[in-house]
Amino acid sequence: MVKPGGPFKTPPSRKLPAVDQQTQQPQQAVQARAAFEPSARSRIPAFEVMRITDEIARRRADGHDVVSLCAGEPSARPAPGTLKPAGYTGPLGTAPLREAIAGHYRGWYGIEVDPRCVAITTGSSGAFQLVFLAAFDPGDRVALASPGYPAYRNILTALGVQVVEIPTGPETRYQPTPALLDAAEAEHGPLAGLVIASPANPTGTMLQRAELTALTDWCRAHGTRLISDEIYHGITFPEPGAPDPRGLTALALDSEAIVINSFSKYWGMTGWRLGWAVLPPDLVAPLEALASNFALSPPAPAQELPLPAFTPETYAERDLIVADFGRARDLILDAAPALGWGTAAPSDGAFYYYSELGPQLERYGSSVEYARALLVGAGVAIVPGVDFDPLAGDRAVRLSYAAGEPAVAEALDRILAFQRG
């Protein structure tokens, strides 16, 4: 559902499809994707001092003695009791971390990623802001599944991009499909972009290989940029022997996809505010220019901490935590009949259970009222669905089992007692 500020106009970076003069219908999209272009607003000069800072780091890493009189960063000792001095890095992050992330894709997914196409950002939120700025111009249309993560919609709207909400439900496992995208284009016009998430927030649903292939093929045929949110990769609960057990990256199917990830979820480093984007080559320079002006560089100390995150020992440690999430998930799934709620999304991954409230709506009227009463009456905090679905979210709630098995067990006991009362 689009909520434009006025009548639609042809987006400045898109062209309307040609019309067949006999049928007066849009000609079929060609199979070969037209070349993408960065957004017009990303054509700004890079902050040259940050490019020089990046070059200084490369030269020093190669053993050169460089005296820098470049950046306005103090070289004196930090104030007593503070951390060691930390200077600027390059706008897209340090080379060691970018190379480590490229190695992560090689190890987990068996694909090669050019470290130069990896951009370190201030969390995935920073990645979305920079990517949306670099890829889209005001007036462009970008499609999102609903229910979905509200920040996609809110950031795009703040940037003047027209959001096309794709209503989804259990019949498509709460994910977009080519048929839904065809219907959206027929109603609203060409789509400049599509944002997907697998596993998704709030539903936890995942796109299987055939489904993701169908979406990448559709985007390729329609000249639509695909942005894949993969921040919950690794927090998955596959059956033994299932393919793509940690999640399927869109990069395995489309080298021009934009992939966004973060250290916040699988690695549990939310407060460090460190994420990344893997970019197609045409967006590297525009995003670097934007990053060098917006943030100068990602936080330097935060970029040192994750370097051991890609070791076998760390993966094993984090997988034990994911197993605890799985046990908490099982508690909720086992309690679902007793909760007596309505239709729930299949919780394939992430750490969320999203469900309609069903009969509870007769008593409380909306998910907002139910969540408020539950917090006051039982001391259990859950999230009403209105954040994730502007149309039907007042009928649903999201439970997070990130707190682990004991907390979820206690919460379920309280919810059941609250509903009996």
Residue pLDDT, tens place only, 281-331:
999 999 999 999 998 899 998 998 899 999 999 999 999 999 999 999 999
> How many helices and strands (H and E) does the chain possess?
12, 10
Q: Does residue 10 have a pLDDT over 60?
A: no
Q: Which residues pair with 396 in a beta bridge?
A: 356
Query: In whole angstroms, what separates CA 186 from the centre of its chain?
Result: 26
If we measure between CA atoms, which residue out of 256, 326, 308, 324 comes closest to residue 284? 256
- Most confident of the ranges 10-24, 56-70, 297-311: 297-311
pLDDT at residue number 4 = 34
Q: Which of 8-17, 191-200, 219-228, 403-412 has the lowest mean pLDDT?
A: 8-17
Between 67 and 302, residue with greater pLDDT: 302
Q: Does residue 420 have a pLDDT over 50?
A: yes
pLDDT at residue number 20 = 46
pLDDT at residue number 32 = 54
Report CA torsion sign: 142, 125, 330, 243: positive
Question: Which pLDDT band holds residue 344 (cuts at 50, 70, 90)?
Answer: very high
Please report the domains of the chain, with CATH numbers, ordered by start residue.
42-60+83-309 (3.40.640.10), 313-420 (3.90.1150.10)
How much is the pTM? 0.84
> Residues 122-133: what's their mean pLDDT?
95
Q: Containing H/E element for 118? A: strand 118-121
User: Three-state SS for 58?
Assistant: helix
pLDDT at residue number 55 = 72
Strands 383-384 and 396-400: antiparallel
Give dist(CA 98, CA 275) in Å, integer: 11
pLDDT at residue number 12 = 36
For the segment 30-54, what is each residue's pLDDT rounded down to a tens digit? 355 567 887 777 665 665 556 666 7
Average pLDDT of the residues of the chain: 87
Detail the DSSP E strand segments found in 267-379: 275-278, 352-356
Paired tokens of 232: 């919950």
For the segment 377-411, what is each residue's pLDDT rounded down to a tens digit? 999 898 999 989 988 999 999 999 998 899 999 99
